[in-house]
Structure formats: C-alpha cells, structure tokens
Structure 1
Amino acid sequence: MKILIVDDNYQIVETISDYLELENNIVDCAYHGEGALKLIEDNHYDVIIMDIMMPKIDGISAVEKIRADLLCGTPILFLSAKDTLDDKIAAFKAGGDDYLLKPFAMEELCLRIQALANRGQRKDIGILSFADIQINNQTDEVCRDDQVIKLSRIQLKILKLLIRQAPNIVTRQQIMETIWGDESPCSDALRSHIYGLRNAIDKGFSESRLETIHGQGYRIKA
C-alpha cells in the first residue's frame, strides 16, 4: 500500500511513517498542503493522511483542491486536535472520508487506513473531460472518441491543464510555471512537448482539438 502523510509536525510525520513502513507500506511525506498537491499530481496513493492546521495551504483547502482541481478520488483521513462538530463537518464537506482526533493510538490509525484502502477510490470523482477527450485521473488513461491515447508524463500534465481551462487560452508562461515551477525549461522544450501532444491527440482525427493562438498561448477547442 502507498500512503501520503501530510503534517507540519516533523515528529508526528516521522512516527507515523516509521510505523507504517514497518507494516510494509510505502510512505511519502509532505509538510504543508502545497507540497502535498505537487506529490499527488505525480503519484497515485491508496490513502492520504491529512493534518488540518498547516502553513501555506491548510488541510481543508488542500483537500478541496485535491477533489475539485486534481480530481483525485483517493480516500483521505484527517488527523486533527480540533474536536468540534463544526471542524468535523468542514473536513467531510471538503472531501474527507474519515476523521481521527490527536492524540491517537497507532493501532487505530492503521485499522482506519486499511478500512479506507479496502473501500478504494471514490467513484464520484476522477473524470476530466472536454469535447471528445476524456482523462481518467485515477489511472491517467487518456481517450478520444473511446480510442486510447498514449502520452508522456509532461504531455499528460499539459493536457490536464488545458482541459481544466478549456476553451480558454492558457499562456505559455502559465504552462511553464504550472508544469515546471521555478525550474522552467527553455521555450523550445515546451514547443517540443506541444508538438508531441498535438500529434498524439489530433493525428488521425478529422477535427483538431489543440489550437495555437499566436502571441498568446494554447487552448483545447470544441
């Protein structure tokens, strides 16, 4: 089982991580919501353990983005010292699947994780689509007119960004900042990825979907 732990308390993260790894789980760690979102974009997890009070992006906001923006249906267990009914309601409304109060027994945490993993991915979340293109966000399978299309990791990220914004234009700068952050490559690298993406999703179809808007950027059109 692959598990993501998100908590700004390094000691708690280390304690949970060590225990779960002894149980033969694979564990990734993030210390704020922003870091969690980046890991979730590039990995598939069986369960996500999420603290609420964190810097940059708190747990509630992070889960809202995980569900609405990343379309990730991975079960999420909130860990928190906040014990009011309003706190719990906010966590479940954001998209959480379970809520465990701190402090807690590791045995109980493990039982809850196993129960969530057995439940599997949420079926009400996970399909990103526009026109005749669909992306299964749980498997990263891309289809156009029910035909499976193979994309590289970077091409897939670019397509997800374009579909989320479709039919609006996404600038070259927005793409580079979203995909590569502060380590943006030269513009030739982006052109190469766009060329490959266009060949993958448009070749063999009567209508093209990926459109270049000269001097502005790119978009997916209907």
Structure 2
Amino acid sequence: MQMFSEVPVRGESLGAKKIVIVDDYEESCRLLAEILSSSYDCSYTSDSSMAVQLINEKKPDLILLDYKMPGLMGVDVCKSVRENEATRKTPIIFVSGAATIDERIKAFETGADDFISKPFHVKELILRIKARLSEKEPEVLAEIRAANLTMNLLSRQIFVDGEEINLTPKQFDILKMLVLSKNNLVTRERCLTEIWGDTEVTSRNVDSQINYLKRKISKFHGRIVAVPSLGYRLEAQE
C-alpha cells in the first residue's frame, strides 16, 4: 500500500516551492494537491503516522495539516516538526473543519502559523500560503568563498585562483556543503541524505566523490580532512 502520493507541477514552475499535505481523508488531500499543483510541488499522505516521515523526506517549504485525525493528531505532528532542527521553521497552516476555540488555541500553542476552517475559499487559502512563503523567502546567496576558492551558486561554477574547475553535480553539492560548514564536520549520513536522497548508495560513494574532489581542487589553499568514522571537514587558510 502506497503511503505517500505526489501531484506533478503543471505549467512553468521550475524550482516550485514544496508543500506537504496531511489529511486523513485522501480525497481532501488529492483535491488540495490538484488545486495547488499549478504553482507548487505537492506531496500528501492520508496516514498521519507517516506524516513526519514524509515531511522529513521532502523537506517542504510549507505544510498543510488537518487537526483531527486517527492515530497522530495534527498537533502531535506539528509538535514533532517544531522539535526537529531541520524543520522547526517550516510554516504550518492547519486546514480543519469544526474546530473549537480550544482546539485552535492548542494548534497555535503547539506551533501553528495559521488556521483555516473548512469549508474555505480557494483564493483565501492560496493568499495565506503565499503570505507564509513570502515571510520565509530567504535572501538569495549567489557566491561563497573559502581562501582562494570561489563558488558561484547561481551558475554552479567553481574557481580556484580564478581558474575554473569542472565538477560533477554531486561533487559541486558536496563541496558547497563543506564550504558552508567550513571548519565543522559534515557527516557521511548528511551527504547521503541531502545529496543522494532515496538512491540506494553507501558511504563509499561519498568517500569516492571526496577523493575525486580533492584531486580536482588540489590548488586550493586548504584541505578536506577526514574525520574518522564520521565524515569530512573543510579547512581553509584564510
């Protein structure tokens, strides 16, 4: 039995924001996903016990969450999201019917950003989603540096002493992670989760890409240091 479902984005929405929908009525999930799929990348589950797993896998930009569900209640899911460092700032909008004032207060106390009662007007829902996403919109980081190494995140180009270095997409993403975490540990598990996702690979794939990366940026004024049994750390001579 498939626990998660996705609705492809329609129209020109490359790089669309991701929304996860959780509602115990699958038809409600499907309807919301269809409505929003013209602008957003939507995934949903009608099994509340799988909601946290779906949210952790998709790392959405916003969550639409029902309040009353069998198994885990919406506030339980909300609490779990807020307790996870990776998702604690993700906007959560409760979309629920016949909620009492006490239930609405409980939702906000648990960490809800907004609460919409069913039935709702589609335009109101879309405007509230846009408002929450615009609040979350980060400043675009165009370039990062470490010593004599420069990464252009928009063009995905790497330069060492002004000389362009050709990297594969995964090597680029690993190096970006290392530079952004400069002088701090980046675990193999984090690389596998954030770069390979659901692909069946092992930590050896990370080690192999790191070795290629070291050779390609050999003129870098710094080094990529192996942290035994854990991962890697980038050190730069600033």
Instruction: Provide the TM-score with structure 2 as the length reference.
Output: 0.55
In the alignment, does 2:72 pair up with 1:28?
no
In terms of Rg, which structure is larger?
2
Residue of structure 2 in register with 1:83 after alignment: 104
In the alignment, does 2:232 pair up with 1:218?
yes
Structural RMSD (CA): 4.8
Given the superposition, is the C-alpha separation of residues 83 and 199 from structure 1 closer, same or farther in structure 2, using an over 3 Å criterion? farther
In the alignment, does 2:78 pair up with 1:59?
yes
**Mapping of 1:43-54 within 5 angstroms?**
48-51=62-65
The structure whose RCO (Cα within 8 Å, separation 6+) is larger is 1
Distance 1:59 1:218 in 2: 33
Residue of structure 1 in register with 2:58 after alignment: 39
| Equivalent pair of 2:145/2:151 in contact (CA under 8 Å) | no
Given the alignment, which residue of 108, 125, 131 partners 1:115? 131
Q: Name structure 1 gaps, 5 residues minimum.
A: 93-97
1:30: Cα distance to partner? 3.6
Distance 2:117 2:126 in 1: 14
| Equivalent pair of 2:78/2:110 in contact (CA under 8 Å) | no
1:16: Cα distance to partner? 0.6
Show CA shifts across 1:155-187 (max 9, x none). Answer: 455457657877565565675467557754255
In the alignment, does 2:83 pair up with 1:69?
no
In the alignment, does 2:30 pair up with 1:14?
yes
Q: Name structure 2 gaps, 5 residues minimum.
A: 1-12, 46-50, 97-102
Residue of structure 1 in register with 2:211 after alignment: 195
Given the superposition, is the C-alpha separation of residues 203 and 5 from structure 1 closer, same or farther in structure 2, using an over 3 Å criterion? same
Q: SS of the counterpart of 1:6? A: strand
* Aligned partner letter, 1:88: F
Given the alignment, which residue of 216, 219, 223 partners 1:204? 219
Instruction: Provide the TM-score with structure 1 as the length reference.
Output: 0.58
Q: SS of the counterpart of 1:193? A: helix
Residue of structure 2 in register with 1:95 after alignment: none
* Aligned partner letter, 1:59: C
Question: Which of the two has greater helix per residue?
Answer: 1
1:17: Cα distance to partner? 1.2
Given the superposition, is the C-alpha separation of residues 35 and 164 from structure 1 closer, same or farther in structure 2, using an over 3 Å criterion? farther
* Aligned partner letter, 1:7: V
Show CA shifts across 1:188-213 (max 9, x none). Answer: 5333321244356x4433222x2124
| Equivalent pair of 2:189/2:203 in contact (CA under 8 Å) | no
1:60: Cα distance to partner? 3.8
Residue of structure 2 in register with 1:101 after alignment: 116
| Equivalent pair of 2:33/2:44 in contact (CA under 8 Å) | no
1:99: Cα distance to partner? 0.5
Corresponding pairs, count: 200
% same residue: 19
1:103: Cα distance to partner? 2.0
Distance 1:63 1:125 in 2: 24
